[in-house]
Structure 1
Amino acid sequence: MNDSLQMRTLGDPRVAEVILGQSPPSSAYNDAEDGLPFYQGKADFGLMHPSPRMWCNAGQKFAKAGDVLMSVRAPVGDVNMAAGNCVIGRGVAAFRAGADVDPWFLYFALLYSKPTLEARATGSTFASVNKTTLHELAIPFAPRSEQEGIGTVLRLAVEKLGQEESAIETAMKLKRAAMRELFTRGLRGEAQRETEIGLLPESWEVTALGSLGKIGNGSTPKKTVLAYWKGGTFPWLNSAKVYDREIKSADRFVTAAALSECHLPRVQPGAVLMAITGQGKTLGHCAVLEIEASISQHVAYLQANAERAHPGFVRGYLETQYEYLRQMASGGGSTKGALTCGFLRDLPIPLPPTLDEQREIVAILDALDRKIALHQQKRATLDELFKSLLHKLMTGELRVDDLDMSALSSVPVPTVAP
């Protein structure tokens, strides 16, 4: 560690005052905005500042604007900055910067110390840290001017991350709005007619998904039979791969013996795949297959007639049905927590009369997807930048004076001066 960065414990009153939260009686908090904002844990935290979901009119422990709030009960170590006076419950501790510490430096020093706190947390069911652990925690310490510079640089980096998060959210909202328009109005300015699935352009038909091609699912060869897996070269996909949206590679491979003995389908490029089981967010997600592959029993495929349906169009429409599909799987379908191939075969889907219109719709959706992917890539780059800056600034490996601060206003990566 650089000589300019020492270590000081949070129990030092010139470093911080530690305030452990305490839960008020349930009659004291409400969602009618009566009293002060009431924060109970990480669920209330935002990018840097919390957003109130509950209020409290008879609090027992309070934080002020500029206090650092920390989640101290499962999960441990996440931080936010209080934007105003608030009540804190037992899942939160507040740290009020002492005379020797800049509040934003304290914020990032605590964030840097999260892995240490996680390692010291106790509790077999819900990990937590107590006041003694917090008092004994040593954090990096630098001269006040250096602290202020570190806090400014790291805060700007987080704000850049927030801008990309907002851009992603905006782009996704735009895509959802575009999908509603495209799948109900089309691109030809036609009059609409009422159908069993809502308004559609007059020339569009409603057909069963199964009428577009073959629908089926796969299986999982026994993991204990090495002949099915060892030396395998044929791609085999599980439901996690649907997040790729365009599947171009596989993580697992099976042998020719598995293909023949386990009745695995050889699904061709252009098929639309859907996760059909699971309680998490995976169920209902779709992807277009761009390689020949086989699949598990948790994935269904539609090998559509290329003269009737564009796979990108089918995937796009199925994405608009995500919530409906999940509802059917969890209660409205024949199997709880799953969709069946029979259900998918009967699922109604709108279809334009020409492949050209389908392709044009897909082109619009692809452009929006590229925009979302660009912002996601920027966010990932900024996240890695922030983690690197946090580590290097808190260990003294990098000094604020080494940074070109003007770069923060024009590009996401501040550069090191030669």
Structure 2
Amino acid sequence: MKTARLKHLASVVAGQAPPGHSVLPLDEAPNDLPFIQGNGEFGVEHPVPRLACAVATKVAASGDVLVSVRAPVGALNIADAAVGIGRGVAAVKGRRNVLDQRFLWWFMHEARDSLHAVSAGSTYRAVTGSDIGGLMVPVWKVEQQRRIAAFLDRESERIETVQNVIERTMTAVGLAASSAFARHPIVTEAPRVRLRFALSGIEQGWSPECEQRPADPKGWAVMKAGAVNYGVFRPEEHKALPIDVVPRPRYELRLGDLVMSRANTRELAGSAAVVTTLGGWRLLMCDKLYRLHLDQRVAIPDFIALAINSREGRDQIEALTSGASGSMQNISQDIVRGLLLPRPSIAEQRMVVEDLARMSYRATRVSQCGSDLRSALLNYREALIHEAVTGKLDVSRISESEMDERLHAATENRLDEVVA
């Protein structure tokens, strides 16, 4: 397979900071060009600008692949309109009839590990436009590039469909558990009190750039935002702390800690869980997590986690979160303190927790299995991109039934455990 450097097949535009006086909030300058500074404005696939610029020094055109050149290096989006780009972003456009833009999108997914390997720095990694231009691209005829891109579009949609089924099932199981909490007679009769009166403090974590792999046994790791999804703490949802980054023990998690997601999608932001196992690692909170310190004379972590995850708690959180539609939602510490939650006595809280523990086996099993499946699907998607882009998989010959078999093999035929 022949390869060529990306700079010979595409244009790479490195972002640049415009004059400071020309940048305003987008709602104050709706007629100016939308402007993004870095990956903080990346959405699921398209950017969600918060700023506008009257004089953009560097501009990405609609359809350009946007690449984060700062931590996390290699994060990707596609410009869906012309947008000014700051120093945290580069824009890549394939040459007409040389490099198909959709194939370029999938190639950049394959190239993320290469970019991470050349990024410089310890706590703050970065790459340059030259690093991106130096990437080696498999050279296929444009027709074959389009076949590969269409195949990956189709299979990615298939994987996303399965992921959505898993998410809906996990949500339904979680709702059943929260419904049981809401119907418990102790909960229904308890007075409602602001959470601030049970808190002695709220602590936010720390997010250095980490390695895209699990930590070694007894090694340091930083938790992901989704580590508390659906009210279950998952110690495996972490990234390894690089060996040259000094850990900050003040953020280390301990058994019994009450942890809450402060930033996630609307359905998951505010999820709370108690740390029940550390999995053999030394785990640090990321900056998208809060640790809630309770006055345990009036509240116990397990009960407060159940109350936050209940429909009553979720309705308050979802009404008050901030963030663009479809993107990360954020929860301030004031929102957390202001949550109005049931407050029975300590003895009654323990009774509720014990009663629901007997009912939660299926919820815990489904949640753990769903988490495992999401990881398996992510690994399968990455492997599929690699095989298709590099030509190890002949996309023109493989059948639908063979792809179904590969998908089931990737999940070890465990889908029925979740959706049954």
Whether the TM-score (by the shorter chain) exceeds 0.5 is: yes
**Residues 413 and 148 of structure 1: CA distance in aligned 2, closer, same or farther (over 3 Å):** farther
Specify every segment of 5 or more residues in structure 2 that has no aligned partner in the other structure, as ranges: 199-220, 236-253, 264-271, 283-290, 292-299, 318-331, 338-342, 411-420
Counterpart check, 1:382 vs 2:377 = yes
- 1:48-67 alignment, distance < 5 Å: 48-67=45-64
User: What does residue 141 of structure 2 align with?
Assistant: 143
Pair 1:18 & 2:16 matched: no
Residue 383 of structure 2 aligns to a residue whose secondary structure is: helix
Instruction: Name the SS of the counterpart of 1:70 in structure 2.
Output: strand
C-alpha contact (below 8 Å) 1:287/1:315 kept by paired residues: no
Q: Is residue 2:256 matched to residue 1:274?
A: yes
Task: Tell me, in whole angstroms, the C-alpha distance in 2 between the residues paired with 1:10 and 1:149.
Answer: 20
In structure 1, C-alpha distance between the alignment counterparts of 2:194 and 2:169, rounded to whole Å: 26
CA RMSD in angstroms comes to 5.5
Q: How far did 1:390 drift?
A: 2.0
Give 3-state SS (helix, strand or coil) of 2:75's partner.
strand
Partner of residue 86, structure 1: 83
Name the counterpart of 2:296: none
Q: Percent identity?
A: 26
Does 2:274 correspond to 1:286?
A: yes
The letter of the residue matching 1:382 is L
Give me the whole-angstrom Cα distance separating, in 2, the residues matched to 1:398 and 1:354.
Answer: 55
In the alignment, the residues of structure 2 paired with residue 367 and residue 173 of structure 1 have an alpha-carbon distance, to the nearest angstrom, of 13
Superposed CA offset, 1:84-125 (max 9, x none): 222211111111111211112111212222232233334576
89-98 vs 20-29, greater mean Cα deviation: 20-29
Larger of the two Rg values belongs to structure: 1
Shift of 1:29: 3.2
Query: Does residue 373 in structure 1 map to residue 368 in structure 2?
Result: yes
Structure 1 residues 306-364: Cα deviation after superposition (integer angstroms, max 9, x where no partner): xxxx997687458779x9xx979x99xxxxxxxxxxxxxxx975665996x76664466
What is the total number of aligned residue pairs between the two structures? 321
Using the TM superposition, give the Cα deviation of residue 54 of structure 1 relative to its aligned residue in structure 2, in angstroms.
3.0
| CA deviation map 1:133-156 (0-9, x unaligned) | 333332112122221122123233
- Tell me the TM-score normalised to structure 2 length: 0.57
- Check whether the contact 1:68–1:96 (CA below 8 A) recurs between aligned residues: yes
Q: How does 1:1-400 map to 2 (within 5 A)?
A: 5-12=1-8, 15-26=9-20, 27-32=22-27, 33-98=30-95, 99-122=97-120, 126-163=124-161, 182-183=180-181, 185-187=182-184, 192=189, 194=191, 196=193, 273-275=255-257, 285-288=273-276, 316=306, 361-362=356-357, 365-400=360-395
Contact 2:232 2:367 in 1 (8 A): no
Q: Deviations over 1:184-227 (max 9, x none)?
A: x43459964535569xxxxxxxxx9xxxxxxxxxxxxxxxxxxx
- Tell me the amino acid that sits aligned with residue 23 of structure 1: A
Return the alpha-carbon distance in structure 1 between the equivalents of residues 115 and 157 of structure 2. Answer: 25
SS of the aligned residue for 2:74 comes to strand
